[in-house]
Amino acid sequence: MDIMGRIDWTLAISEEEEGASMTRAQDEALVAIGKLVCAWGLFEGALEERIAALRTAAGEVRAVGNRTRPGMSRRFAELRAVIAMRDRRNAEALNEIANIEGEIQRVDTLRLMIVEGFHGRDGDALICRDGKNRPMTVGIAQIGREAEVLDRLREKIAVI
């Protein structure tokens, strides 16, 4: 094989490696987004289960969200109401619910921006458009951290 054959072969290897790294980066982005979406769904389910368990413990057996699926703010309002019925002096639990709700609103803003405003990818970041149509970059690592935050909040909801 002459020198030109070797150069062509090394160029082909470089292109394959570049394609493989692009695929790896795409896979990492998809995994991070999937973790965030799944963590959100698990949090919603845990919140609904906790509300149902608290209502059952209080003697009320109606289904939660039977006809329409309530939004997150209505779920938290119902959780606060059930906690207040259980113990009106339990300000600590109500403060914890308020803190969790604040975190959820922050994560929800990011989640909606990614799910509804994805515009492209730039290295290890996603380019998304926010509610005001401004381009924003969200790091893949940040998406993974937000999924971990949702898991931590789900554990907190279980013990309220």
pLDDT value for 55: 87
C-alpha torsion sign, points 67, 70, 74, 79: positive
pLDDT value for 88: 72
Q: Which residues pair with 122 in a beta bridge?
A: 125
Closest CA to 55 of 31, 76, 82, 78: 82
Closest CA to 29 of 116, 119, 121: 121
pLDDT value for 22: 59
Using 70 as the pLDDT threshold, list the residues of the chain that sit under it.
Answer: 1-22, 61-69
pTM: 0.78
Closest CA to 138 of 158, 156, 112, 100: 112
pLDDT value for 35: 95
pLDDT value for 89: 75
